[in-house]
Amino acid sequence: MSEVAIRTSKTLTPADADAEVVVQGWAQDVRNLGGISFLQLRDRYGIIQITAPRKKTAPEIMEVMASLPRESVVRVIGTAKASAQAKSGVEVLPTRMEVISAAAAPLPMGVIDKVNVEPDTRFNHRFMDLRKPELRAVFEIKSTVLNLIDMYLVDNGFVEVFTPKLVASGAEGGATLFELRYFDKCAYLAQSPQLYKQMLMSTGMDRVFEIGPAFRAEPSDTVRHVSEFISFDGEMAFIESQRDVQKMIEGCTQSVIKGVIEQCDHQLKVLGADVELPKAPYPIIPYEEAVEMVKAEGMKIALGDDLGTEGEKLLGEIMSRQGNDMYWIEEYPEEAKPFYIMEKDGTPYSYSFDLDYKGQEISSGGQREHRYDRLVARMEKKGLDPDSFTFYLEAFKFGMPPHGGWGLGVERFIQKMLDLPNIREAILFPRDRIRLIP
Ligand code: AMO
């Protein structure tokens, strides 16, 4: 007895002609035309056409096909036949058909229907939404991005670490902290690994990175804010200046985008996305200059003000006209930056930077204040109580090298790389002010 070969839409080819094969997937579409029935069977990679001519097919299979609800999971055993009509050049004539899991009707939303479905309906039934190949492609690309980040950082001597997500104090301002009960204490969900990655700089582990969830109680309902995102953080000790940090991010983002272009050809096609490698080195725009640039384009802004979404977008347009998709904005006013950023003495500025991609901030970082007294003074200046940060400050008292680092929002990076209209398209189950389910 010949063995039945398991095939997917990727591995079934005209070379299988006349072989007995087994294929399985979701019944995307069934057409019963009297003398012949067609089933479009969808799997991870695409579509397999099942063709059942009445004269050559067992009556019980014709019966199953006549009443098969769309999106049911089906296993088909049959004979592969070369076919000029089937897109892949091959179809399967069924000899057995098993409905493994019948789908209820009506479906909460269509998978192939071209009607515009409201985003809320899509996200409410995300498991069904994600049956669309172009939506799943984003997550295959995201997985490649994370893999490429890992490889680049490990190649550059970084150690991957995991810091607590249940924490006693926040690093990025009280307004966006999620508070929760932790036994008999109050705790928070980590907004970033900031305090921990810095503490690690005093251990001798001089290059660390972390890719993990970060939580922000963001009240703003925008296309680039969510309350849970994946943060890619790095911290490096013994830096000469923030330039060392910028060089690392630049190398990493270049390597990742290049890798996506090389490895995700299929996914990019399915998505209809055209990814271009941003021109490097990325131009560096001092904050003061950035303000002048957007002012010259008519924006009302004064030195010291936040560029805001409007300023970032406008700057993105100016930079895009010059052929630059990625660029740095650096040396922000120290007042606008968190306590851990080093001040640029004798100026109102700081050793800080943002990395913007097509008019949107995707990363920020800088050189840290590693001198204990200066750090405590900066905390006090920001209205923070150093006593609530004792565990962190202690690491600066007993030998802390100069250091710097960054945080990069993985979904914002992917959003811009793939030109997705909303950050939520790069998150399987997004969380925001109104969404906690599914
Ligand atoms: P920052 O607060 O700028 O810096 O955050 C770093 C990056 O994280 C992403 N990000 C978000 N993405 C989606 N939704 C949000 N609500 C959200 N908030 C932030 C952005 C942003 O650039 N500790 C510092 C980093 C450092 O200095 O090392 C920090 O967290 O892409």
Query: Structural domain boundaries of the chain?
Result: 5-101, 127-426
Whether the predicted model's global pTM rises above the 0.75 cut: yes
- The pLDDT, as a whole number, for residue 2 is 59
Residue with CA at minimum distance from ligand 1 atom 29: 407
Crossing angle between the packed helical segments 410-417 and 133-155, to the nearest 10 degrees: 120
Atom of ligand 1 nearest to the CA of 409: 31
> Which positions are catalytic?
216, 218, 224-225, 361, 364, 412
CATH code reported for the domain at 127-426:
3.30.930.10
92 neighbors 79 (Cβ within 8 angstroms)? yes
Crossing angle between the packed helical segments 287-296 and 308-321, to the nearest 10 degrees: 80
CA–centroid distance, 286 to ligand 1, in Å, is 20
Closest Cα to residue 386, out of 397, 375, 371, 396?
A: 375
Per-residue tens of pLDDT for the chain, all 438 residues: 457 899 999 999 999 999 999 999 999 999 999 899 999 999 999 999 999 999 999 999 999 999 999 999 999 999 999 999 888 899 999 999 999 999 999 999 999 877 788 999 999 999 999 999 999 999 999 999 999 999 999 999 999 999 999 999 998 988 999 999 999 999 999 999 999 999 999 999 999 999 999 999 999 899 999 999 999 999 999 999 999 999 999 999 999 999 999 999 999 999 999 999 999 999 999 999 999 999 999 999 999 999 999 999 999 999 999 999 999 999 999 999 999 999 999 999 999 999 999 999 999 999 999 999 999 999 999 999 999 999 999 999 999 999 999 999 999 999 999 999 999 999 999 999 999 999
396 neighbors 372 (Cβ within 8 angstroms)? yes
Which residues line the pocket of ligand 1, CB cutoff 6 A?
172, 192, 194, 216, 218, 225-226, 229, 231, 233, 361-365, 405-409, 412, 423
Identify which of 169, 191, 192, 339 to mutate to test ligand 1's pocket (most ligand atoms within 8 A of the CB).
192
Determine the 3-state secondary structure of 241 from DSSP: coil
Cα 408 to Cα 287: distance, rounded to the nearest angstrom = 19
CA–centroid distance, 405 to ligand 1, in Å, is 12
**Fold classification of 5-101 (topology level):** OB fold (Dihydrolipoamide Acetyltransferase, E2P) (2.40.50)
- The pLDDT, as a whole number, for residue 300 is 97
Fold matches, 5-101 and 127-426:
no
Structure tokens at 325: 């998709």
- The pLDDT, as a whole number, for residue 220 is 86
74 neighbors 39 (Cβ within 8 angstroms)? yes
Atom of ligand 1 nearest to the CA of 225: 14
Question: Any idea how long the chain is?
Answer: 438
- The pLDDT, as a whole number, for residue 40 is 97
CA–centroid distance, 364 to ligand 1, in Å, is 7
Question: Which residues have a Cβ under 8 Å from the Cβ of 191 and sit 6 or more positions away?
Answer: 170, 171, 172, 173, 176, 177, 214, 215, 216
The 3-state DSSP composition of the chain as helix, strand, coil percent (nearest 5) reads 35, 25, 40
